[in-house]
Amino acid sequence: MTSTTADATATPSVEQPEQPAIRERSIPSAGWMVIARKELGDHLLSSRFIVLLLILGLAAGIPIFLATEQITSIASEVSGIPALFIALFIAGTQDISILQLDLTVQSFVGLVAPLLGLAFMFDAINGERSQGTLPRLLSQPIHRDDVINGKFAAGLAVISLVLVTVCGFVAAFGILRLGIVPAPYEILRLLLWILATIIYVGLWLAFGLLLSVVFRRAATSALIGFGSWLILTVFGQFLARFVLAFLVPVSSALSEENVRAAAAQSTILRLLPTSLYSDISLVLLSPRITGTGSSGSIGEAIQRQLQIQSFLSIDQSLLLVWPQLVALIAMMVACFAAAYVLFMRQEVRA
């Protein structure tokens, strides 16, 4: 009886409510891929992408029409000549030149393609900053460097898509118009040239990204970016030759000093990104070219004139242009590294 009463009067135990577990913000290991997918979708659905695709298509369409007309007019003479298919990209109206720019596919692509990099990147960071979305973007559970890495990767993917599409259109037009079936080595040379073009445009993409980080306003970065493109691609060699004419004068007389001066001018001119890309394009698309730059001495110049014309293999052509490729990659990495470091050190206020 006593134990029953004690059990009845005992205070029942009250269970304590469980404390909700604190959920830690998980940071995805590949946050840059999230940013890249979002930026890639925005680029593909933007009117900027369509306009630039049409501009690059028209820039390649005019010289490809001239090249097919030229090859068709001399079809009986060039039948059986090797590397005839990739001649579509380097053939054209060679005697009409505006500021040393021939009307060929590779020259027009080298002129217009840098606009892709600048157009997709000049407002990548400062555009987010001006709209007030950059602090909100950085407050998400991703690393800060994922933002700049994802934007650069998305821009490079869009550029690759545009270039492959345009080059595929040029190749299909040449096959249908001329009935030329490309050889495997020609396809490989064309793919290598497209890869070199992507690297070249990637340099301008990294430069536009650097401008978008340095300058707060998109208009300022666009003005500086397109102004730099205009100076380097259109007037670059003209201005460089004008300045070098006073620093390293070259006369018409054939002497050892003049040959060395001409070689020095050629070396300095090849520091321009446009000159580097032009050398790469000519060597990859024309197996007949066996050297780049000027001769360093009279003996070397005479040897080049007496050299028997031959066709280089793909590995030999790559050996000729690997310094230019390394220089373009180094410039691209330098611009991207500068943009990366500056962006990581910038203060972003909500």
Locate tokens 């840098």: which residue? 114
Q: What is the DSSP annotation of 13-54?
A: PPPPPPPPPPPPPPPPTTHHHHHHHHHHHHHHTSHHHHHHHH
pLDDT tens figures, 276-300 = 898 898 888 888 777 665 444 444 4
For residue 40, the number of C-alpha atoms closer than 13 Å in the C-beta half-sphere is 18
Q: In this model, does residue 340 exceed pLDDT 90?
A: yes
Cα distances (angstroms) measured from residue 232 to each of 69, 204, 237, 256, 270? 31, 11, 7, 31, 12
Average pLDDT in the chain: 75
Query: Of all residues in the chain, what percent carry a pLDDT higher than 70?
Result: 66
Residue 166 has pLDDT above 80, yes or no: yes
Would you say residue 206 has pLDDT above 90?
Answer: yes
DSSP state of 82: T
- Listed range (81-85, 148-152, 192-196, 227-231) with the worst mean pLDDT: 81-85
Left (φ > 0), alpha (ψ -120 to 50) or beta: where does 83 sit? left
pLDDT digits (tens, 9 = 90+) for 12-40: 444 555 554 444 445 555 778 888 888 88
Nearest to 108 by CA among 231, 203, 233, 198: 233
Q: Are 232 and 273 in contact (CB under 8 A)?
A: yes
Specify the pLDDT at position 81.
57
Taking residues 221-236, report their average pLDDT.
84
Task: Report how far residue 49's alpha carbon sits from residue 342's, in angstroms, rounded to the nearest whole number.
Answer: 28
Comparing 61-65, 79-83, 146-150, the range with the smallest average pLDDT is 79-83
> Hey, what are 54's tokens?
């049409």
Instruction: Kindly tell me if the per-residue pLDDT of 337 is higher than 70.
Output: yes
Q: Which residue has better confidence, 190 or 176?
A: 190
350 vs 134 pLDDT, higher one: 134
pLDDT of residue 114: 86
Task: Tell me which of 8-22, 57-71, 148-162, 308-322 is least confident.
Answer: 8-22
3-class SS at 93?
strand
Residue entry with tokens 């790559």: 318
Q: Which pTM was predicted?
A: 0.78
* Stretch 170-194: mean pLDDT: 82
**Both tokens assigned to 332:** 């691209």
Q: Which of 16-25, 147-156, 193-202 has the lowest mean pLDDT?
A: 16-25
Three-state secondary structure call for residue 183:
coil
261/264 Cα distance (integer angstroms): 5
Q: CA-to-CA distance for 148 and 128, rounded, in angstroms?
A: 12
What's the pLDDT at 210? 93
Q: Are 204 and 119 in contact (CB under 8 A)?
A: no
Tokens encoding 191? 């793919």
233: nearest Cα among 335, 116, 126, 89: 116
